[in-house]
Amino acid sequence: MMKIALVTRMFPSDYEPYSGTFVYEQAREIAKRVNLIVINPVVRYPSLPRYNGLNHKRKEIPKYQRLDGFYVYSPNYWYLPKVQNKYAHWNLALTFSLAIWHKARDAQLIHVHNAMPDAFAGLIAGRILRKPMVVTCHGSDINTWAVPELPSSRRLIISGLMHAQRVIAVSNALGQKIKELGIEKEKIRIISNGFNPDLFFPMNQHDCRKALGLPLDKRIYLSVGALRPVKGFNCLISAYGQLKRSGLDFVAYIIGEGKEREKLENQIKKEGLEGTVFLAGTFAHKEIPTWMNAADYVVVSSKNEGWPCNVVESIACGTPVLATPVGGIPKIITHASGYLGSGTSRKDLIDMITKGSNRTYSRTEVIACAQTHTWQSEVTQLMQVYKELC
């Protein structure tokens, strides 16, 4: 049986339950078809008081465990802030190489998730161990780091992708950006993220709201994502403020954590949205379907995306999606499954929410739009890529 080493720093744990859930779901499906080991390097910081909390939480991540038919090996790699910024990719490359040699030296192929700096690290590991490499780019790695304003990271990404045997983009839009970096069209494949139909399926909205303690008689908007500028939550909260002042009766929940929390909390107070807009925190992936079924609409306000899983997952639950027209989103949302906005500004979001909420949706038709995007169908395409190289 074919053996694959899937290397990723994005993977869920008790410390970060929502990190890389799409990689975990993909790994579950891959493991049904090949012998799979996941290499999940865990960053460690210097033993200084300011980092002790981070290091303590990461100690709880098991070094070696079996999950749903595959093994996960989580070696430590050390990161020295500021001092090591220029050399982090070499440190990661060494960690990749040693981990694969230690636990997966008989693997026939290395599959790396994320282009920055993982693609370069995977390139070095692949050369040392003489194994072909596949790199999956998810969006933020290319949209954020492969820009002319960041020449060093751009060069690292291009080097890693040029030497990969195959480069997977999760959307056509992302594939075009990768091609514009000078990567050969022939090695690029478009394989989207999927959804798990055993988790994301329609449930009774009333029951879900009761289970979560949410209002039973109000319109509910839900957003899911890290509290980072690229997710556009500042513009979304501003839009909610205007909608509230115009008389719209609703509540909104944003699931996720990040460095923007304090800033967004202050904005909610400034907009007079306390009791209307809530930063709900982070939940395990298995809890998200209940939230999506409880909502009337899922709202995506991102300024950049690859192929956001929460869009397909929401549609699979039968909940319409109101989203900005970025990345692969225009390829997911149809007239039947939601509403595609015209831009990412506050004004665009107000227009998107207003028009999208005033339309009537058939839940059966919404659900039908997701059925071609299961992890089973997406991994079938991925297996063809593996077979081309092994």
Nearest to 282 by CA among 310, 256, 252: 256
Answer yes or no: pTM beyond 0.85.
yes
Domains of the chain, each with CATH number or no CATH: 3-194+374-389 (3.40.50.2000), 205-372 (3.40.50.2000)
pLDDT digits (tens, 9 = 90+) for 93-146: 888 888 998 899 999 999 999 998 889 888 899 999 999 999 999 998 999 999
pLDDT digits (tens, 9 = 90+) for 136-184: 999 989 999 999 998 988 998 999 999 999 999 999 999 999 999 999 9
